[in-house]
Chains A and B, each alone.
Chain A
Amino acid sequence: MSQAANPRQYVISFIFIGIASVILLRLFFLQTFEAKYKIMANDIAIYKKVVYPPRGVITDRKGKNMLSNTVIYDLMVTPHNMSKPFDTVQFCAALDIDKKTFINTMRRVYERNIEVRQSMFMEQLSQEQTARFQENAYTFTGFELVERNIRQYDHPNAGILLGYIGEVSPEMLKKPRYASYRQGDYAGLSGLELQYEEVLRGQRGVHYLERDKFNRPRDPYKGGILDTQEVAGKSLQLYLDADLQAYAEKLMANKIGSVVAIDPQTGGILAMVSSPTYDPNLLRGHDRAKNYAALYRLATRPLFNRATQAMYPPGSTIKPFTGLVALNVGAITPSFGYGCRGSYNACGRSIACEHKDAGHAANFRLALAHSCNSYFCHVFRMTIDYKNFGSVKEGLQTWHNYYNSFSFGVPTGIDLPFEKGGFVPDSAKYDRMYHNVWNSCTVVFVGMGQGELLLTPLQMANGMCIIANKGYYYTPHFVKSIGGHADTVLKKYNEMHRVLNIPDSTFNIVQQAMQDVVESGTAAGAKLDGVTICAKTGTAENKAIVNGEVIKMPDHSMFVAFAPRENPKIAIAVAIENAGYGATWAAPIASLLIEKYLKDSVSVKRKAMEDKMLNAHLINKYTYTIDSVSRLHDAMVYQARMEKKYATDSTRRAQDSAIFTHWVDDRLRNIKKQNLKSTKK
């Protein structure tokens, strides 16, 4: 039965092909033009896992761990992925928190970050919380435990040097230094942790994983070719001697002040104490903020690094430098003598000297050994009035430049953040102070370490290095090696700074004089069998405002030293606030530390002295008053500043500047008056 071809077979074939073409067309548009699906597919299926490498370990000069790592867990949340409804009750029970905390935290998460980003829910879970969460982890979709390495301080010492880490703040994230950080990352916030952040941090690894619809990570995405491997942070070896540091902190307990010990031959810091100290382990873990606030409120200010930030008048400890500058510029020779009769009267007013006997300042060595005020006031005047300089302004400026080259008055460049530079007055300062009418007599106190001169204990210790090395120093620094070898970061610390061009014979005179100070002079208590210590005591007068009056406070006890004289191994500066004579407190402490460092233990003979130092309680009762007043002052200054800021802002908005600004100035004047009144009360 043969038929003519039925035309309807073509209609049906046409329908088949037609519909298939429509489908193909739609597929073509869907797959080649609509890029959004590609993005969506990646969003839902690719999981970016950030792996934090362990932070670098910090060890002391002998390789003893000072700062290492342990593992803790952070709980992160991605609100977008949370199952809805979410079993809050079970979740709260697992983490042992109440529902209110949960709601508040979630609100904060929403405020800080967008829904699809992962944010911190809870920092540093305890072991029980971690275990309970992991048991039920599959029900808490959207939440994830992220393993983190937390810092572990192996000894409760050196907190202020090592610093601490914490979550980066939104303000920090705006700075270029933190460009590669994300919300929730940790960064060093102070001390060496901050200074060497880039080295210690290592490199974050990013692993791309595929995840399934239950949000469980599965195979690596594209076989892991996009992944970046994490690189562990490099370890730091310090010059610091952990035992010496611990001993120094023990000696400085219950005293306000600081100790800085430097190895003059390298500039490496052997110990640095800012007393009172705190246990650095307080500033880690989830109680960091609470503990920080508590420490911050203490009147003794343990978070303030006195070694690099506190500025003291150096007192007599500056006298060797007054002399050295004079010798270097040629204003005096070592044989120069001054006839002191117990006071210096050349400037109209009498400046007392502790020695009356004739000839105690017959030459430079004797004057320094006896710490003759008259001699050094005179030498200072001779220096700045020196004929070669032309005028006293030039002279003072030259003297100022010398001090700056000793890194007095400018930051030394130590590898700790927030270092203060102290203050060395220059001509411009006095021009302002005295309206251009001043001469060498006006500023004579500077020669004996009083007046406007202010130094940090670090600078004093660095000064000792210059004398110990006979004219040069290395920038003081902590880090000996990074990751086991000398890093380029450390190159600047290997530079020798030669600051004085004085023959060694003259230095020998200075050193001999300082040796005399220990052996027969004011610092007899610092004497140590078998070691020649060169030292200088200092007793710095200082004033403070207490109860609205400026009163003279007990003197700061200062002591600087280096030892041994030949081939010096340690230069040290000790400053104890309001403790009295330098010889009484600072000298024995320095001596004990030198003994501990050079001989590794303290001899039995000096046990009594050691006990006396350990048990001394030298915190001035005024500390608390001064602290509260200064805090009040700070608060008021802040308030006034903010008020002025708001006022200028609103002025700018209101566009009626003249009248309004007058009003604001009046108001500010009133506030200042009130402040003064309330301070007097």
Chain B
Amino acid sequence: MSSLRKALFYRIDGVVLLLYVLLVTVGILAIFSVEHRTTDITIFLANKTYMKQFMWFGYSLLFGFVILLTDSKFFSSFAFLIYTIALAVLFITIFAGVDVKGSRSWLGIGSFRFQPGEVAKIFTSMALAKFMSLPETNFKTLKDRLVAVAIALVPAALIILQKETGLALVYFCFFLVMYREGLPNSVLVIGFSLVALVLGTLLIERKVLFIVLTVLAVVIGLLMRQTLRRRMMPRIILVGAWLFCIIFSQVAVPFAFKHVLQRHQIDRIFSTIGKEVPDEYDKTMVAGEEKKGNSSEYNVLQSKIAIGSGGFWGKGFLNGTSTKNQFVPEQNTDFIFCAIGEQFGFIGSAILVILYVSMMLRIVFIAERQRSVFTRVYAYCVACILFFHFAVNISMTIGLMPVIGITLPFLSYGGSSLMSFSILIFILVRLDADRQALIR
């Protein structure tokens, strides 16, 4: 065995680490391009955000090095314990949290602040992996499935109580992991269909959606005509699903908007997807009431302007007029993608997207080569968390999704975000280094 067990350095996965360093570097450069002014005497200015991010990168590497030196069994052994502590901290945060923009998701210790919800993802992943890898767990039973769902969603519930809904949504990505471990196909299909239906109802015009849904149903019917001809059940399911979608999008939602919801609620819903309230839902204004500027709508518009004005080749490094001059709100954190889109255009954006996808696919590849279930499940958790953050963040900057405060992994400015993603990656690398061993 000793010949197989090479030194730790040779066993760590270089591809993931390389992609990690690349992405963080792109992030620091993106922040630099936004912050830099031609009038600056030097680029090394301690009060600039990019220098702080650089500092956080250093801390992350240091922390990562420490993780690489720990024993891989440590993570599985302490998974439940750390998870419990994390839950406790999340619970405390509901009451002791610092109020930031209406949410109490931040904990302050002295001048140091961090978001437990951001870090709890790591421990939830570990707990889920630990639970799945337990010998007594049989994921085919409903009881164990429910326990797994509970492990994933309890932190989400606590985060919702902190009024940080966007962050809580991340925990739904664990369903994808559970799907890999044996949830039925229908869960995935139904889940995706529901998300698509809700987004479609809000984003697409009603008549267009009706045609799309009907065409979709007819196409599926034609493809499955053999099955449909023979048995009754699929016919009922198809017609029932089509009817449900039509009723939901054509009748239920308009009815709710017209008669049930209040004006401010409608405004809220449409503002989170960055759209103006359609005329038909626009309740007549009460005399004297002024229409308020819609901040999310403004954010998305500015973000779209920045990205759209980049064109195919981009405006060039340090030439982003929209991002450099602070037109895009939150542009160092949630909207950092605008800096890339504006300065490097479609080419730069596509390369970035490819970098992310390569990283996720590499992690899936790593997951599948593991001997131990713990590492496999953990790796899937990492891949799915990355995927969720990446997809939702970029979609919201280009108006495909509602604006929820979710960071772009490795690129967005912020100690909590960068640290937690770094830890996720380094634990994965550490576990992967012992892929031949059986970790329980």
Contact = CB atoms under 8 A, between A and B. Distances in A.
Interface in A1-45: 1, 5-6, 8-9, 11-13, 15-17, 19-20, 22-24, 26-28, 30-32, 34, 36-38, 40-42, 44-45
Contacts of B179: 8, 11-12
B308 A210 contact: no
A157 B109 CA distance: 78
Interface in B360-395: 360-361, 364, 367-368, 371, 380, 383-384, 387, 391, 394-395
A46 interface: yes
A23 B324 CA distance: 24
Contact of B305 (A8, A41, A212): A41
B349 A31 contact: yes
Contacts of B387: 15-16, 19
A32 B180 contact: no
B394 A23 contact: yes
Given A218-B37, A219-B37, A210 B325 contact: yes
B321 A40 contact: no
B306 A41 contact: yes
A19 B392 CA distance: 10
B390 to A, nearest CB: 8
B346 A41 contact: no
A119 B179 CA distance: 63
A41 B322 contact: yes
A491 interface: no
Interface stretch (B82-90, B265-273, B350-358): B350-358
B308 A12 contact: no
A212 B356 contact: no
Given A23-B394, A31-B311, A37-B304, A1 B324 contact: no
A222 B316 CA distance: 10
Contacts of B398: 23, 26-27, 30
Contacts of B27: none
Nearest to A38: B309
Contacts of B353: 20, 23-24, 27
Interface string A414-425: 000000000000
A128 to B, nearest CB: 32
Contacts of B149: none
A45 B364 contact: no
B308 A31 contact: yes
Interface in A442-456: none
B274 interface: no
Nearest to A221: B321
Contacts of B400: 22-23, 26
A8 B308 contact: no
Contacts of A44: 305, 322, 327
A42 B353 CA distance: 26
A211 interface: yes
Nearest to A219: B38
A213 interface: yes
Interface in B337-351: 341-342, 345-346, 349-350
Given A9-B180, A38-B308, A41-B305, A210 B395 contact: no
Contacts of A41: 305-306, 308-309, 321-322, 342
Interface residues of B, number: 48
B299 to A, nearest CB: 12
Contacts of B326: 212-214
A15 B306 CA distance: 28
A284 to B, nearest CB: 38
B170 to A, nearest CB: 15
Nearest to A23: B394
Contacts of B312: 31-32
Contacts of A17: 357, 361
Contacts of B306: 41
B368 A6 contact: yes
A16 B386 CA distance: 10
- B-side interface mostly: helix
A5 B361 CA distance: 15
Contacts of A213: 325-327
A27 to B, nearest CB: 5
A563 to B, nearest CB: 67
B202 interface: no
A217 to B, nearest CB: 10
B356 A20 contact: yes
Given A23-B394, A38-B308, A218-B37, A8 B180 contact: yes
Nearest to A220: B38
A4 to B, nearest CB: 11
B169 interface: no
Nearest to A33: B308
Contacts of B395: 23, 26
B12 interface: no
B429 interface: no
A210 B367 CA distance: 49
B368 A27 contact: no
Interface in B238-254: none
Nearest to B302: A44
A22 to B, nearest CB: 8
A19 B391 contact: yes
B64 interface: no
B307 interface: yes
Contacts of B322: 41, 44-45
Contacts of A6: 180, 368
Contacts of B310: 31
Contact of B307 (A5, A27, A212, A219): A27
A22 B345 CA distance: 17
B361 A16 contact: yes
Interface in B137-173: none
A211 B357 CA distance: 36
Contact of B327 (A20, A36, A37, A45): A45
A468 B356 CA distance: 94
A23 B179 CA distance: 23
B65 to A, nearest CB: 29
Nearest to B38: A219
Contacts of A221: 321
Nearest to B391: A19
A30 B308 contact: yes
B324 A13 contact: no
B176 interface: yes
A23 B395 CA distance: 7
Contacts of A219: 37-39, 324
Contacts of A23: 353, 391, 394-395, 398, 400
A44 B330 CA distance: 18
A31 B368 contact: no
Contacts of A27: 307, 341, 346, 349-350, 353, 398
Given A23-B391, A31-B311, A5 B327 contact: no
B259 to A, nearest CB: 33
B416 interface: no
Contacts of A24: 349-350, 353
Interface in A168-211: 210-211
A210 B368 CA distance: 51
B309 A37 contact: yes
Contacts of A22: 400
A30 B307 contact: yes
Instruction: List the 4 shortest-distance A-B pairs measured between CB atoms, nearest first.
Output: A37-B308, A41-B309, A45-B321, A212-B325
Given A12-B383, A213-B326, 10 more contacts: A8-B180, A9-B364, A31-B346, A31-B349, A37-B305, A41-B342, A42-B309, A44-B305, A45-B322, A211-B325
27 contacts: A1-B438, A8-B179, A9-B364, A12-B180, A12-B380, A12-B384, A13-B364, A15-B387, A19-B391, A20-B353, A23-B394, A27-B349, A27-B350, A27-B398, A34-B308, A36-B308, A37-B305, A37-B307, A40-B305, A41-B305, A44-B322, A210-B324, A211-B325, A213-B327, A214-B326, A219-B37, A221-B321
